[in-house]
Chain A
């Protein structure tokens, strides 16, 4: 067990070091949320005056959505690490060592989760500076938890794609899922203002769950039943996706 934990931390450290050495990548991961919050958020700030809008401050409303979109974008890139490791023969080199296979997977997921947590905190701070109102510290924590669960699910999905298809294009293509998933949810508009068909789809959309959980827990009167249920659903989804990625890992091993 300690061996698995220490290996996991070494694998995570490898990704963190590589990340820390890419200033342009770091900048780009933060540029997107800045654009959404500061440009989009302010351009549409009067949208809250539409009758039926549930909030009086669009930045407050939008910040949880930007958190989740950013989580999707950065975790959706996760599989790229596997594609590159496969292309460079690094994954095969790891596989001829006695390393516990699960530690390779969990090390990568923990790195992705760390990144997501840091990004989420930065976006929440940015939202706060731009005038968003957050009602409780617990809400902030739950927002991070929702971002992590959604991110882990999407990172695992991306990793599974990478291990099965081994193609950089597949990973790039999967990032095009982010915006449709956001538009089919309460990311930009309250549920009451969504067309009927989008409202129907949104109840099956994990992005919608995560945004609603975060927005609700940061707001003044959280619906705890909704939050508990949908955090639970996000957790189940993350576990299922992680399990699928381990299946994909085995499929890769068989195909070597």
Chain B
């Protein structure tokens, strides 16, 4: 499986090969009226890493719950590994692995016991299970702590065990719900290497939810940006960014002033600055050429008496893509989830 998809362009769904995940028009409204999913549709090609990117409350976790058979949608359909999630949940369960946002290992048991019980829940036993458990302990570098109670583990070690537990039964499709939230940079880098390795070496299809732009950018073949329960745009990170032509100019003002005052200051530059936006002290705009536009912006702000603390020209980021499709910056969502 890995070979055939390696040759294909990353993220493309070959016509002969069924998608590993196929979600069609999923909707879900929680009691109390929160509409978590509102026509969620996307496909994931086998052997690829697919990132569902969105702020808290965008519906990512609900999507994972439905695709992993934990919850049922109000309407819509989904297939995982070619199997219908609603009609054959038990078959789907055998084919998928789920690693959730916070650790779900049993703190009162040892690492090895956690791995063994997980295998036993999939009817694994005997030498096969013992070998698999040992292999995972080695691979995740848990040898020193495998026979200690999980309560005594460090946060990073427990998260590694948590991922290993999700892999015991050799799933074809792995769901990783915010796998690096709360991890320190070193542990995050290690997790990223592991995710990349899973897809590349073992042909596991990985669906990753994240609210880290950088994570989606670095790991995934395909990114789908979610907002209010649906996919607003999907493509490779590069495609999404290159659709935004030109550069981004980002200027940080020394003091917070009324947005109207800033917009008035750059009013005569409307031919150069596209889609300017202001978020607190940050002025962002897209320009055809950052190098020539920046001096003009700085001069305009200076003549309006606005002090600038820093200024930069950036290649478009996924943050800009998000802004473009939702009309909000990603960061503003994070601080004030709906």
The smallest beta-carbon distance between A1 and chain B, in angstroms, is 13
Across the interface, do B149 and A93 meet the contact criterion of CB distance under 8 Å?
no
B120 close to A6 (CB less than 8 A): yes
Task: Check B109 against A93 for contact (C-beta < 8 Å).
Answer: no
Q: Are B100 and A89 in contact (CB under 8 A)?
A: yes
Beyond A18-B109, A98-B93, is A256–B122 a contact (Cβ under 8 Å)? no
Contact partner, A96, options B70, B109, B113, B149, Cβ 8 Å: B70
Interface of A is mostly: helix
Interface centre among A14, A90, A98 (most CB of B within 10 A): A98
Question: How far apart are the CA atoms of A25 and B274 in the complex, in Å?
Answer: 67
Contact of A14 among B98, B106, B169 (CB under 8 A): B106
Q: In the assembled complex, how far is the CB of residue B130 from the closest CB belonging to chain A, in whole angstroms?
A: 14
- State whether the Cβ of B280 lies closer than 8 Å to any Cβ in chain A: no
In the complex, A90 Cα to B70 Cα: how many Å?
Answer: 13
Contact of B70 among A6, A10, A95 (CB under 8 A): A95
A141 to B108 alpha-carbon distance, docked (Å): 33
Distance between B120 CB and nearest chain A CB, rounded to angstroms:
4
The one of B104, B109, B113, B117 that contacts A92, using a Cβ cutoff of 8 Å? B104
Q: How large is the interface on B (under 10, 10 to 19, 20 to 34, 35 or more residues)?
A: 20 to 34
B68 and A96 within 8 A (CB): yes
Please tell me if the beta carbons of B121 and A7 are within 8 angstroms of each other in the complex.
yes
Instruction: Mark B110-121 against chain A: 1 for CB-CB distance below 8 A, else 0.
Output: 000100011011
Quick check: A93 and B104 within 8 Å, CB to CB? yes
Q: Is B96 an interface residue (CB 8 A)?
A: yes
Knowing A21-B149, A88-B104, A256-B65 touch, does A96 contact B123 (C-beta < 8 A)? no
**Contacting residues, chain A, for B56 (C-beta < 8 A):** none
Is the CB of A97 closer than 8 A to any CB of chain B?
A: yes
Q: By the criterion CB–CB under 8 Å, are B98 and A96 in contact?
A: yes
The answer to whether A3 touches B104 (Cβ under 8 A) is no
Q: How far is the CA of A92 from the CA of B93 in the complex (A)?
A: 12
- For A90, what are the chain B residues with a Cβ–Cβ distance below 8 Å? 104-106
- B312 interface contact, C-beta 8 A: no
Which residues in A have their C-beta under 8 angstroms from that of B113?
14, 17
Residues of B within 8 A of A88 (CB): 103-104, 106-107
Residues of B within 8 A of A (CB): 65, 68-71, 90, 93-94, 96, 98, 100, 102-109, 113, 117-118, 120-123, 125, 149, 165, 169
Inter-chain pairs besides A88-B104, A90-B105, A92-B104, 11 sampled, C-beta below 8 Å:
A17-B109, A88-B103, A88-B106, A90-B104, A92-B70, A93-B100, A93-B118, A97-B93, A98-B122, A256-B70, A256-B71
10 tightest CB-CB pairs across the interface, nearest first? A89-B104, A18-B108, A97-B121, A98-B93, A93-B104, A99-B121, A10-B120, A96-B98, A96-B68, A98-B90
- 6 examples of A-B residue contacts, CB within 8 angstroms: A10-B120, A89-B103, A93-B100, A97-B118, A98-B121, A256-B71
